[in-house]
Amino acid sequence: MKRLFTYILLLFASAIISCKASKSVYMFTSFHEPANEGLRLLYSYDAIHWTDLNRTFIKPEAGEAKIMRDPSIAQGPDGVYHLVWTTGWKDDKGIGYASSKDLIHWSAQQHLNVMEYEPTAVNAWAPELFYDDEAGRFIIVWASTVPNRFAKGQEDENNNHRLYYTTTADFKTFAPTKLFLDPGFSVIDAEIVKRGKNDYILVMKDNTRPNRNILVAFSNNPLGPYSNYTKRFTETYSEGPSMTKTGKNWFIYYDSYRLKRYGAMRTTDFKTFTDIADSISVPTGHKHGTIFKVTQKQLNLLLKDSVAVKTNQQ
């Protein structure tokens, strides 16, 4: 009986350890200006208080400028993490891409020339990854300016963005680039989030002057069309929105760059938005990232590797 009791205790302890190891942890991709150091990662257990792992995990090599802005990560069903990022401010028609099984060791970087078919395209900004689990493919959405093609507000013609996209199942072959969204105004920094079956939300920045703030729209398909645009619910000079859910609450983080801090809004219905900027804790220097989840086991590997890297640097 004693042996049986001991065995049951061991099974119970093992179950607790296993459960803890599989617990979800929020991760926030990040970069620091001037964007030449590479990918940084923050983590949180409540999606409110964030800690910087305080190192870079991949140094940018793709593109002529050799920078990494707006890093976006999404995990595929095979467990592989895929990363895309902005490789240049202007005169760059491509985006960066790399993959990893553990967020520590990364594949060779590629420069995907997603706008090469447009001879006058100015840029390819803030690519965002979304895994479409119903179609079994990744969707990459980014903002580009093609001068003299769309209606314009007060902004310069070379700053009149629309959203474009491509899809891929393996990051080896890509569907031809197509227009993703023309909302009738200059738009950048768009992220797709699935709220439920046939229920998708697009959070984005209205980049027209004088707006430059955040709103969302809705669709029953991740590729759109999107409609029912909300009011602009953040202060002006807001960009880089990223959305995540905890409990019944959706948090929309964004870079409030004029105030030189990170902002956040909370909502349950996408009709009423509550400013929670004074309640969040985001490390100084954090810039435009996206939020995804990992297990506690994966975070432990990142923490262990970060300690080893710092020790080797001393």
pLDDT in tens, 191-207: 999 999 999 999 999 99
Token pair of 298, please?
């994966």
For CA atoms 116, 241, 140, 150, the dihedral sign is: negative
Band of the pLDDT at 4, cuts 50, 70, 90?
very low
Rg (CA), the chain: 20
Band of the pLDDT at 312, cuts 50, 70, 90?
confident
| Three-class SS state of 192 | strand
CA distance 251 to 50: 13
Q: Are 191 and 244 in contact (CB under 8 A)?
A: no
If you average pLDDT over every residue of the chain, what do you get? 92
pLDDT digits 0-9 by tens, 121-170: 999 999 999 999 999 999 999 999 999 999 988 899 999 999 999 999 99
pTM of the entire predicted model? 0.92
The predicted structure's pLDDT at residue 125: 98
Q: Is 158 exposed, middle or buried (0-12, 13-18, 19+ CB in 10 A)?
A: middle
Q: Whole-angstrom distance between the N-terminal and C-terminal Cα of the chain? A: 54
| Three-class SS state of 269 | coil
Backbone torsions φ then ψ of 42, nearest 5 degrees: -110, 155
| Three-class SS state of 93 | coil
For CA atoms 50, 56, 61, 66, the dihedral sign is: positive
The predicted structure's pLDDT at residue 308: 79
For residue 17, the surrounding DSSP H or E stretch is: helix 2-21
Residue entry with tokens 């920045």: 205
Q: Are 217 and 204 in contact (CB under 8 A)?
A: yes
Q: Are 215 and 232 in contact (CB under 8 A)?
A: yes
Residue 51 neighbours by CB distance under 10 Å: 15
The predicted structure's pLDDT at residue 5: 36
The predicted structure's pLDDT at residue 22: 54
Band of the pLDDT at 307, cuts 50, 70, 90?
confident
Residue entry with tokens 């027209």: 208
Residue 288 in this model has a pLDDT that exceeds 80: yes
25-313 to CATH, choices 2.115.10.20, 1.10.760.10, 3.40.50.2000, 3.30.70.2740: 2.115.10.20
pLDDT average, residue stretch 289-300? 97
| Three-class SS state of 266 | strand
Sequence-separated contacts (24+) of 215-219 with Cβ below 8 Å? 216/252, 216/270, 217/183, 218/270
